[in-house]
Structures are given as C-alpha cells and as structure tokens.
A and B are shown apart, each in its own frame.
Chain A
C-alpha cells in the first residue's frame, strides 16, 4: 500500500511527485508519458526561470528533476478505474492494480476528436492532431485544418509556408482566436477560410484523399491529402467515475485541490481550475501534494 499514487506526469504530476519525494512519502507515479501536453508544446517563454525553453526541453528537465529522487514512475500505463474502498483508494491500470491511502489525479487533457466516419481509419494516414509534428510532411500538398481558435490559426500559419493550399474549416460563423493571428490567416494567399462549415467525413483509400464538408446547406468533398484536427482539448477524466465533474468533464476541486471524495485530490488541466497554463498546473500539483500530506497526517496514516 502506497501513501500516495499520482496519476499523470505532466507539470502537475511531476511537481506533486517532487514535493511528495521530498516529504519521504511512499510514492508511485502511473502515467502514459512524461511531460504531458508541455512535452508537445512549441516555444515556452512564460515559465519563470526560463526566458525561452522548448516543450521537449522542459519535459526533459521535469524528467531529470523527478528521477533525482528514488521515485518509481510507471510509464506507458493507462489508468482504467479509480474507486474508494474503506480508507483505501484502488487504482486499476491496463497492467496492474494498486492501492494507496491517497491519490492525486493529474491526468491532463488530450486532443478532442471529430467523431466522424473515417477519422479512426485515417489517423496518421494523412489525419493528424499535431501540426507542429507532422506539417513538414505535407510539402506542396493540399490540406485542411479543422477548427477556428488559436491552435487552428497557428496550424494554418505553420502550413502556409509548406502546403500548396489550405482550407480552414470553421464550424462557427466567424473565426475566434487572437486578432493578430486572424489577420495573418486572412491575408495568406494560399489559405481559404470556410465559415459555418461542418466536417461530416474523412475519405480516402489507403491514405486521406478528401474531406466531406457541409457548408451553406451543400455537402461536397474537398480533395486534400492532409487533415489537421485542432478543435480543442478534452480532460482525461473518464476513469474517475465517482468523482464530481463539471459540464466539460473537468474534475471539480476546491482551493485545497480536494475532490468530492476524501483522500482523492486533483491538479492541473484535468480540473476546473480557471486557467490552463504550465506554471499553473505545476503550482496546483504542489498544492495537491501538500493537501494529500495534510490528509495523511490528520488521519494518522
């Protein structure tokens, strides 16, 4: 039985882990990867102490920091179930079952999926959720970006220098995001914005060859070889069935990072904390650990 299990190893999970290690708590970290969304961020210029650092570099620093202590980090594991049984919390992953006196959920967010026919079949076969990663593979090709916020605008701007033509397929009547980026997109000669446009299917043979779009009551297939999905993020909270969440699926916490179940805490982007930032997630992780430590002390565990 562990004192604490931390689910996730992004900025929140790692920071909680460092605090827990320094308090000599008997600790386990269960996670899919290290760094979370921070690891796939581009340039980071607002994490105090670093005027400039890339996402992968910061993730490597996080990894180095936690491995500075004798902490067991189980990578490539996905938590499937979480439940309270008496004073214990049971954590079931796709590989093992663990028990702890307290748990911090720091499982973050993932890219939202379109849920249209063809999406699963063509993932990585022309359809991608990471423009930063895969955009250079679409040199001279015709592509579509789906979305209307900053991440979609950012994907379009990365692609203007690479792709031949870009459709920006926006479900809303007008683009969101920052005005500066909107102007740049609207001024790009090889980008075309389709507002009020709904993606209904991804088509192709072995690779993507088109996208079916419903626009102004008409439905047509636009011939593209690449599709970039940039429609926001969803919290990784499905496994936390008994935990109270808001309408977005984010775990509800109070100012001490407590959930509705005693002994289960949450931190970072998976929670309803108002802003999603690397530095906020890190701070929340430390708060959650200190709350868990207090909880264990109060219950004389």
Chain B
C-alpha cells in the first residue's frame, strides 16, 4: 500500500527540486504543495514543522525537514 506523501516546496529551492527528483527516481507518488503562492499552505507547513525552511515532507504524518535522504528512505521503507 503506497504511503501518503506530501511535499511543501517553493519552485526556486534547489533542495526541493532534488527531493522531488529523488522521490520520482524511487517511483514514489507524492502531492507537491507550492507554498510560495499559497499563504494557507505555508502556514500549515509552519504549524506542522515548527519552522519556515523548505522542503518539508509529510509522510503519513511523519514530518521531515530538508532533503534528509536517510530519514526519507526509512519513512518510505525503501
């Protein structure tokens, strides 16, 4: 059963691009939320992660800040 994966990102952020590429390379389906144009989504991200840096990943409720490959792999079981 595929996990519910959501990434909060901005279009200009290099680590967001690399994180999304990493997910694609591993055939992970994810929802991309662009927080640059969506104030409500930005606030949701800050509330969930307690900070303002992107990218933030929400993997079935587990919040991962930044392109932390080891934690992402572990959370996804890949």
Residue numbers of A with Cβ under 8 A of B are 33, 35, 39-42, 54-56, 59-60, 75-76, 124-126, 128, 130, 132-137, 139, 158, 206-207
What CA separation (Å) do A251 and B5 show in the bound complex? Answer: 43
Would B53 and A128 count as touching, CB distance under 8 A?
Answer: yes
Q: Which of B51-72 contact A (CB under 8 A)?
A: 51-54, 65, 67-70
For residue B40, give the distance in angstroms from its CB to the closest CB of chain A: 12
- Cβ contacts A to B, 16 pairs, < 8 Å: A39-B15, A56-B18, A56-B21, A59-B14, A59-B18, A60-B18, A75-B69, A124-B65, A125-B50, A132-B13, A133-B10, A134-B10, A134-B13, A136-B10, A136-B37, A139-B36
Contacts of B69 in A (CB 8 A): 75-76
B contact residues vs A (CB 8 Å cutoff): 10-18, 21, 35-37, 39, 42, 46, 50-54, 65, 67-70
Q: CB-CB < 8 A to A128: which residues of B?
A: 52-53
B14 in complex: contacting residue of A39, A76, A207, CB < 8 Å: A39
Q: Assess the A41–B35 pair: CB atoms within 8 A.
A: no
Considering the chains assembled together, what is the distance between the CA atoms of A83 and B31 in angstroms? 47
Are A124 and B53 neighbours in the complex by a CB distance under 8 Å? Answer: yes
* Complex Cα spacing A191 to B67, Å: 32
A76: chain B residues within 8 A (beta carbon): 68-70
The 6 A-B pairs with the shortest beta carbon distances in the complex, nearest first, are A136-B36, A133-B13, A124-B53, A124-B51, A56-B17, A136-B10
Cβ–Cβ contact A130 & B52, under 8 A: no
Contact A126:B52 (CB < 8 A) given known A40-B15, A56-B18, A76-B70: yes
CA distance A128 to B14 in the complex (A): 14
Output the nearest chain B residue to A34 by Cβ-Cβ distance. Answer: B18
Query: Which B residues are CB-close (under 8 A) to A124?
Result: 51-53, 65
Using known A-B contacts A76-B69, A76-B70, A124-B65, determine if residue A134 contacts B14 with beta carbons closer than 8 Å. no
The answer to whether A133 and B36 touch (CB under 8 A), given A54-B17, A59-B18, A76-B70, is no
Query: Cβ of B21 and Cβ of A60 under 8 Å apart?
Result: yes
B51–A125 touching, CB < 8 Å: yes
* Residues from chain A with Cβ under 8 Å of B54 in the complex: 133-134, 137
Given the known inter-chain contacts A76-B69, A139-B36, please indicate yes or no for A134 contacting B17, CB distance below 8 A.
no
* Chain B residues positioned under 8 Å from A133 (CB to CB): 10, 12-16, 53-54
Cα A206 to Cα B53 with chains together (Å): 14
Which one of A33, A40, A75, A125 lies within 8 Å of B52 (CB-CB)? A125
Give bound CA distance, A55 to B17, whole Å. 10
Known: A56-B18, A59-B18. A132 touches B51 (CB 8 A): no
Q: Which residue of B lies closest to A39 (CB)?
A: B14
Q: In the complex, what residues of A have CB within 8 A of residue B16's CB?
A: 133
Find out whether the CB atom of A137 lies under 8 angstroms from the CB atom of B35.
yes
Closest chain-B Cβ to A244's Cβ sits at a distance in Å of 33
- Interfacial chain A residues near B18, Cβ < 8 Å: 35, 39, 56, 59-60
Q: How far is the CB of A37 from chain B (nearest CB, A)?
A: 10
